[in-house]
Structure 1
Amino acid sequence: MKKWLARSGWLLLTAVLVVLVGLMVWEPFLAQKGRAAEGSASRTYEAEIIRSEYGVPHIYGKTDADVAYGVAIAHAEDDFFTLQDVIAMARGRYGAIAGEEGAQVDYVYHLLDARGTARRHYPGLPADTRALFEAYATGLNQYAEENAGEVKLGNLFPVNGEDVATGFALRQPFFFGLNNVIGPLVAGEPLPPEFGPAIPGYDPSETAPPIMNNPDGSETAAALPIHMGEDGAMAGSNAWAIAPAKSGDGVTRLVSNSHQPWRGGVAWYELVVESEEGWHYAGANFPGSPFPFLGHNEHLGWTNTVNRPDMTDIYRLEMDDSGTRYRLDGEWRDLESTTVTLPVRMGPLVLPVRRTVHRSAHGPVIINDNGAFAIRYGGIDNIGQLDAYYRLNKAETLAEWESVLARMDIPSTNFIYGDKDGNIAYVYNAAIPNRQAGPNWRGILPGNDSSLIWQGAVDYNRLPKIINPGSGWLYNANNQPYSAAGPADDIDPGSIAPELGVELKMTNRARRTEELMAQFDIIDRPTLERIKYDTGYVRADYVSTMMDGVAAIDTTGKPQLAQAQTLLASWDITSDNIGDADALALLMIRPWMGAEYQNQPLPDAEEELQQAADHLMKHFGTLTPPMSDLLRLRQGPGKYAVDLPLDGGSDTLRASTLWNVDEDGRLSVRHGDSFLMFIEWEPGQPVRSQSIQPFGAATTRPDSPHFTDQAALFVRKELKPVHFWRVDALKNARSRKTVRSN
């Protein structure tokens, strides 16, 4: 009997071990094996990579495709870690790397049919655009093959152009906040207030969704199906264009001041590209792109800020008793349903989690305890942006540049433009759905009426835009388009149809810019720099609400709270590291900013003030530490690690917007001023530009001297030269090599 029991025990142990080993290795084997880029076996690419004194790659090639191949190699040398994450997202396998958070991304990959979108439309892109993407994929494959020890996930490579295109289809909708719709629907929670009154019969659970810890130390609701690192669109960007008549010296100036995460899949990567086919551009891209998204060529340049038009419509479907059919125009239709397997890494194991995704004629469908809801969003089933950005890179005139935007292929983001001829422009770009007038598009729509299923985007001529205003200046700081050029030139809100759903909010940065721009008859370079680096707030909107709320607190019997209340009342409304109240105000502002931008309930003033005071007393022993002791630029580990003081705050023009709270109580900024570029066209002179990033080119290579070599400049508000012209790149080269495909 004992032998039998022992034998049974060994059999059980063996079975358990077999299961555990299976959970460790199943995902790479069952994942669909990738295929190499089209024609890569017969095509040889060659590119020269010259790195500047700051490690910024300048990529040269005979053809545009050669350059795209070199872009992949250079970027992988600096951040192959993040590039693999992006590719895993584009393959629906991110959960095998990032666990629950990654599986949320994979769920959205299937829900939005990102792969299907790419498969349907990638073959129809122009041949030269596809060649660019195939060459880029070849570069990634080559780096992965030559550096196999860095590869995180089996069978992730090879990849091809369609894989890269899929990444675009997946990630773009989240720049206009699609996650703010998908998340609540998946969790069965109330929708954002912009969707109007609660749905009749919609009774979400009062239980808050579980909180998950992200790799960067932040927290997010586990119910949210995607966390790209942007923390929503609230953090924003700034942009300015100054015409020659306003600049004081006849120079056209364009300032790109994007606010993006400092690490991860939507962190900027600076580069300069040049081919013998006429592609010559300096700027920055995101991991997974063969071309820059903003910057300048010889003739013109542009930058972007996130805008927030109403890009998403929600339909409540009428389902039959089986839950498999929905009614449309009096007929029952089958709901398209597919069961998918999401890989979810948990320690050494990867668990297979089955989920069902649905689609209707409207678009993706989410079913929760309150019903079935279909989603339709601007830019759905379109990857024309892959070609559009490429054409924008090579445009030479304002008319040519506008003709690309007019295709309505780039789903969202404002464009601020400048060129060598002295033109400046602002375009509230968005592929806004071409809705009929009449229905309440801000509410939940009936899903049984096909006339409400719009097709395509509005015409370009219906978008808000300003070309060459009389004021001589343009700006945007993620605000409504009706403040952009000064009162005499601004767009009349009455001229824009309400069904376009244009946002009506003003950020504090926008109010501050309005205030500053109005002070100067001439905005020369030093003045423009003072405006860009301004750390002040305007006492309006949520800032005023916060200050009034704190002033109204009854602090009787609460001496520390009374001291904090008095201190905040003395605040000089800046985040410049000078005033005694700056550290306390820094901690206080962010919750109100977040609530305002995300349409959430306002925080409790007493609770927030107490938490801020407790934090400062615990970690600094005083309510008045220098703000620069609290707010830090940190990047490490290794011999090139940095820990430097910062200024600026949430929603100031010098933006230190979001941070992690480290163990020592310091705030380690992870989102704010990121890629910054000043571009100038002086009459009769070649274009020139300067730029800066918070860390350096090699953001995930701690052993590289370019891991943090821009940090000190960034903190001092200094810029480095952009070597747009090859002769300057050669003069300042730190390294130079030629790469060829295998």
Structure 2
Amino acid sequence: MILLAALAAAPLDAKPAQPTEQQRLAARASAVTITRDRLGIAHVRGTTDADAVFGMIYAQAEDDFPRIETNYLTSLGRLAEADGEKALWSDLRQRLWIDPAELQTRYGASPAWLRRLMDAWADGLNFYLATHPGTRPRVLTRFEPWMALAFSEGSIGGDISYVDLEPLKALYDGKAARAALARDEAPQGSNGIAIAPKRSASGNALLLINPHTSFFFRDVVQMTSAEGLNAYGAVTWGQFFIYQGFNARAGWMHTSSGLDNRDEFAVRLARMADGRLGYRFGGDVRPMGMKPISIRVRQADGTLATRSFTTLHTMHGPVIRSEGGRLVSFAIMDNPVKALEQSFRRTKATSLKQLMEVSALRANSSNNTLFADAAGNIAYLHPQFVPLRDHRFDYRGVVDGSDPRTAWRGLHTVDSLPNLINPPSGFAFNVNDAPWPGAGKGSLEARRFPAYMDQWGWNPRTDHALALLEGTHGFTAEGLRAAAYDTANPGFDKLLPALFAAYDRLPRGDRRRRALAEPIALLKGWDRRWSKDSEALGLAVQWAETMWAQALGSDRPPNDEEVGYQRMTSAPAHVHLTALEQAVARLTELYGSWRVKWGDINRFQRNDGAIEQTFDDRKPSIAVGFPSARWGSLAAFEASTYPGTRKRYGVRGNSFVAVVEFTAQGPRAMAVTAGGVHGNPASPHFADQAQAYADGRLQPVPFDPRDVAAQAVAVYRPGERR
């Protein structure tokens, strides 16, 4: 009776209690399973694509939440809230394009399926924070779905990063003082090779995935759903799409491109009729856009101060500096919704036809793509965001933005780009060079394309890749792996003859004949291949680095490797000999002898979880045989000494390396990643791949559900205790 009375008293329109945020997220987690294999790699399975995104980003946060947060602080232009004044100008640069209010509007206008993925992304990160109270974010205690649009393209440096901070500061700070801003001069890039069935031993297509990035820049995951998603590979921390990897039928690899699709437009200032600031465009005066931006900056006492700026914009883009009495605007792709859509849809493309359909979005601005599929197709695709421009102007420099003829006129169609689709040679490659020899010498004619299609030209890896590919048939997966670690350094084939000639021309009585006799003999007897035991390699690298610094100094043209080699080989004889004397002296200073085994000084070390770790000669490290890609090695290890160290420690180069064969039964792959997938030094997966990485020893990838189950170490749902 009491129950009936209660029911009778209840309002007829009573609604069931709504679940709390935590209950809603926990219910979402119940649709996700995470399987960790013996290397700690997460294999995430969800009912829907959104479920897979939820679980994948949760697993990433388990692996290294600090890197996720740092990537979004950087992308949102909020890094100064954590790092203080030193991040102020990079934040301002980012905020010239990244406006939270605008991103929220774009999120609301996104396709419904993409909003579901962004919602799941935010939910996964927030559920991780809710279930891991021990994780202390520096700033971002809650993620909103629209934030995913701030970081929609997974390359190591987005288009915005090309804006020089020094003149930006001079313009908006109102001071002419130079900013103490370091320039990263190490080569950055990647190798991608696709092998067609006609050149493979098995008759199956093969793909080499070999990005050269800063170490620990990406996690490795597999994400699957009942909606057709099934992708494995490297994912940039905090993003919800596999950036470089493969699915059940196809694979894709990105290399940084020398395409010029970022332009600088200088405009002449003028006053509007009403006195407002404007700029000339043809015979008109257009109003100068003005946008207030406020940035919070962490102070030494932990409080936040606000710095406010009024930034300027023209029709071409934000104003980034003043030059010769004119203001310079920077024009780049600014379509994060399409960029995110293309990045995710690419992971579900199982054929060349589907890849081309996705590429038609034309929202990939910075990367070439190497592709192979189970049907035997291979391809090299140029970046698809390529503005149409007037060929009479040189867009590789600053153009007159007040001249209407220089304005962008839409985009090139995909079929008008320098692509290579199923080339007759049976291979396609890119090593951050021009696309012209990408399927063999003469496979594309540069004169048929506008000059802005490439500004990087040649590098010594071009010669290396061509020598390996043009001379080889019957590739196996192991053969492609061996090619990726081929020990030749063809750059020294170009550089050393000038040094030898300079030495041989020395007068008989010149003191350098005796002083340099042994170093010259060592280099002349060297086969120019890398190995951990090579003494000649250490001497050659030290000499070449000295030559490089003198040849280029602070001058960094877009085609710096092409220019650098030209300048080094044509340098006067005394420059070559002096550089060798300096190299001998430097090695002796550091190691007590100029004869030292390369592996004794070229080391991999991961001793803390910091994004910029501190190296220490007293702590364990691992010998690495391969050197910088600058000297033509396909395998790359960019290393140098650091304050307090004598040994050289790597910070970028080979990061995730994979070889995939696309068989009728599914992909067969092997891979390795730098160090390990976990960012916590206490984890067994912090550095468990370090030795395999240094040895170039790729491990079989569990992709099929049966293989994943056989290697399973832990199976759980997000939020469950492990």
Cα deviation per residue 1:636-683 (whole Å; 9 max; x = unaligned)?
Answer: 149xx851000111111121124453623111101011101111122x
Give the structure 2 partner of residue 679 of structure 1.
660
Q: Does 1:630 align with 2:601?
A: yes
Q: Does 1:162 align with 2:142?
A: no
Give the structure 2 partner of residue 536 of structure 1.
488
Using the TM superposition, name which of 559-568 and 145-154 deviates more: 559-568
Are the counterparts in 1 of residues 258 and 456 from structure 2 also a CA contact under 8 Å? no
Q: What is the identity, as a one-letter code, of the residue corresponding to 2:164?
A: I
For residues 643 and 725 of structure 1, the distance between their equivalents in structure 2, rounded to whole angstroms, comes to 35
Q: What is the identity, as a one-letter code, of the residue corresponding to 1:649?
A: P
CA offset at residue 740 of structure 1?
5.7
CA offset at residue 186 of structure 1?
2.7
Give the structure 1 partner of residue 7 of structure 2.
none
Q: Does 1:385 align with 2:363?
A: no
Are the counterparts in 2 of residues 188 and 369 from structure 1 also a CA contact under 8 Å? no
Consecutive unaligned residues in structure 2, runs of 5 or more: 1-19, 569-574, 610-618
For residues 570 and 348 of structure 1, the distance between their equivalents in structure 2, rounded to whole angstroms, comes to 60
1:186–1:690 Cα change, 3 Å: same
CA offset at residue 234 of structure 1?
3.5
Are the counterparts in 2 of residues 590 and 650 from structure 1 also a CA contact under 8 Å? no
Q: What is the identity, as a one-letter code, of the residue corresponding to 1:476?
A: N
Are the counterparts in 2 of residues 659 and 671 from structure 1 also a CA contact under 8 Å? no
CA offset at residue 626 of structure 1?
0.2
Q: Which of 69, 78, 87 is matched with 1:102 structurally?
A: 87
Are the counterparts in 2 of residues 110 and 357 from structure 1 also a CA contact under 8 Å? no
CA offset at residue 304 of structure 1?
0.9
CA offset at residue 584 of structure 1?
1.8
Q: Which of 114, 118, 125 is matched with 1:140 structurally?
A: 125
Give the structure 1 partner of residue 164 of structure 2.
182
Are the counterparts in 2 of residues 238 and 257 from structure 1 also a CA contact under 8 Å? yes
Q: Does 1:511 align with 2:488?
A: no
CA offset at residue 259 of structure 1?
0.5
For residues 255 and 421 of structure 1, the distance between their equivalents in structure 2, rounded to whole angstroms, comes to 17
For residues 582 and 101 of structure 2, the distance between their equivalents in structure 1, rounded to whole angstroms, comes to 48
CA offset at residue 173 of structure 1?
9.7
1:64–1:117 Cα change, 3 Å: same
Give the structure 2 partner of residue 582 of structure 1.
537
Q: State the SS of the aligned residue for 1:733.
A: coil
Are the counterparts in 2 of residues 315 and 375 from structure 1 also a CA contact under 8 Å? yes
Give the structure 2 partner of residue 477 of structure 1.
431
1:545–1:164 Cα change, 3 Å: farther
Q: What is the identity, as a one-letter code, of the residue corresponding to 1:168?
A: S
Give the structure 2 partner of residue 16 of structure 1.
none
For residues 121 and 560 of structure 1, the distance between their equivalents in structure 2, rounded to whole angstroms, comes to 67
Q: What is the identity, as a one-letter code, of the residue corresponding to 1:710?
A: Q
Q: Which of 668, 690, 695 is matched with 2:675 structurally?
A: 695
Q: Does 1:717 align with 2:688?
A: no
Using the TM superposition, name which of 51-60 and 650-659 deviates more: 650-659
CA offset at residue 553 of structure 1?
11
**Structure 1 length as normaliser, TM-score?**
0.81
Give the structure 1 partner of residue 12 of structure 2.
none
1:42–1:693 Cα change, 3 Å: closer
Q: What is the identity, as a one-letter code, of the residue corresponding to 1:645?
A: A
For residues 79 and 506 of structure 2, the distance between their equivalents in structure 1, rounded to whole angstroms, comes to 50
CA offset at residue 308 of structure 1?
1.1
Cα deviation per residue 1:285-322 (whole Å; 9 max; x = unaligned)?
Answer: 10121110121111111111111111122121111378
Q: State the SS of the aligned residue for 2:209.
A: strand
Q: Which of 653, 661, 679 is matched with 2:634 structurally?
A: 653
Q: What is the identity, as a one-letter code, of the residue corresponding to 1:441?
A: Y
Cα deviation per residue 1:350-398 (whole Å; 9 max; x = unaligned)?
Answer: 5544444221111010243643433343423443111112211112221
For residues 236 and 605 of structure 2, the distance between their equivalents in structure 1, rounded to whole angstroms, comes to 21
Give the structure 2 partner of residue 707 of structure 1.
686
Q: Does 1:731 align with 2:706?
A: no
Q: Which of 582, 587, 592 is matched with 1:621 structurally?
A: 592
1:552–1:105 Cα change, 3 Å: farther
Using the TM superposition, name which of 379-388 and 53-62 deviates more: 379-388
1:211–1:504 Cα change, 3 Å: closer
Q: State the SS of the aligned residue for 1:616.
A: helix
For residues 342 and 430 of structure 2, the distance between their equivalents in structure 1, rounded to whole angstroms, comes to 22
For residues 68 and 124 of structure 1, the distance between their equivalents in structure 2, rounded to whole angstroms, comes to 20
Q: State the SS of the aligned residue for 2:394.
A: coil
Cα deviation per residue 1:532-565 (whole Å; 9 max; x = unaligned)?
Answer: 1013222479746984797599895567667656
Q: Does 1:572 align with 2:527?
A: yes
Give the structure 2 partner of residue 453 of structure 1.
407
Are the counterparts in 2 of residues 49 and 736 from structure 1 also a CA contact under 8 Å? yes
Q: Which of 358, 362, 380 is matched with 1:426 structurally?
A: 380
Q: Does 1:462 align with 2:416?
A: yes
CA offset at residue 436 of structure 1?
2.8
1:167–1:117 Cα change, 3 Å: farther
For residues 541 and 183 of structure 1, the distance between their equivalents in structure 2, rounded to whole angstroms, comes to 38
Give the structure 2 partner of residue 286 of structure 1.
236
Give the structure 1 partner of residue 112 of structure 2.
127
Q: State the SS of the aligned residue for 1:434.
A: coil
For residues 300 and 504 of structure 2, the distance between their equivalents in structure 1, rounded to whole angstroms, comes to 49
CA offset at residue 570 of structure 1?
4.8
**Structure 2 length as normaliser, TM-score?**
0.84
CA offset at residue 140 of structure 1?
1.0
Cα deviation per residue 1:451-471 (whole Å; 9 max; x = unaligned)?
Answer: 432144211111111111222
Q: State the SS of the aligned residue for 2:604.
A: strand
Q: Which of 319, 326, 331 is matched with 2:284 structurally?
A: 331
1:479–1:104 Cα change, 3 Å: same
Give the structure 2 partner of residue 249 of structure 1.
202
Q: What is the identity, as a one-letter code, of the residue corresponding to 1:82?
A: R
For residues 524 and 168 of structure 2, the distance between their equivalents in structure 1, rounded to whole angstroms, comes to 42
Superposed, which structure 2 residues align to 1:213-232 within 5 Å? 220-221=182-183, 231=184
Q: What is the identity, as a one-letter code, of the residue corresponding to 1:620?
A: Y
CA offset at residue 437 of structure 1?
3.2
Are the counterparts in 2 of residues 175 and 233 from structure 1 also a CA contact under 8 Å? no
For residues 621 and 281 of structure 2, the distance between their equivalents in structure 1, rounded to whole angstroms, comes to 59
Give the structure 2 partner of residue 9 of structure 1.
none
Using the TM superposition, name which of 93-102 and 280-289 deviates more: 93-102
For residues 547 and 112 of structure 2, the distance between their equivalents in structure 1, rounded to whole angstroms, comes to 49
CA offset at residue 72 of structure 1?
1.4
Q: Which of 309, 320, 323 is matched with 2:270 structurally?
A: 320
Q: Which of 198, 219, 227 is matched with 1:269 structurally?
A: 219
For residues 372 and 198 of structure 2, the distance between their equivalents in structure 1, rounded to whole angstroms, comes to 13
1:585–1:341 Cα change, 3 Å: farther
Q: What is the identity, as a one-letter code, of the residue corresponding to 1:531?
A: A
For residues 88 and 24 of structure 2, the distance between their equivalents in structure 1, rounded to whole angstroms, comes to 31
CA offset at residue 611 of structure 1?
4.9
CA offset at residue 81 of structure 1?
1.0
Cα deviation per residue 1:307-354 (whole Å; 9 max; x = unaligned)?
Answer: 111112212111137893222233333322234343444644455444
Consecutive unaligned residues in structure 1, runs of 5 or more: 1-35, 190-203, 213-219, 222-230
1:704–1:553 Cα change, 3 Å: farther
Q: Which of 420, 431, 440 is matched with 1:486 structurally?
A: 440
Are the counterparts in 2 of residues 173 and 411 from structure 1 also a CA contact under 8 Å? no
How many corresponding residue pairs? 662
Cα deviation per residue 1:129-170 (whole Å; 9 max; x = unaligned)?
Answer: 12111111111112223334432334x23111211211237x
1:403–1:104 Cα change, 3 Å: same
Are the counterparts in 2 of residues 234 and 598 from structure 1 also a CA contact under 8 Å? no
Are the counterparts in 2 of residues 236 and 259 from structure 1 also a CA contact under 8 Å? yes
Using the TM superposition, name which of 563-572 and 435-444 deviates more: 563-572
For residues 669 and 546 of structure 1, the distance between their equivalents in structure 2, rounded to whole angstroms, comes to 29
Are the counterparts in 1 of residues 602 and 648 from structure 2 also a CA contact under 8 Å? yes
Q: Which of 618, 642, 649 is matched with 1:668 structurally?
A: 649
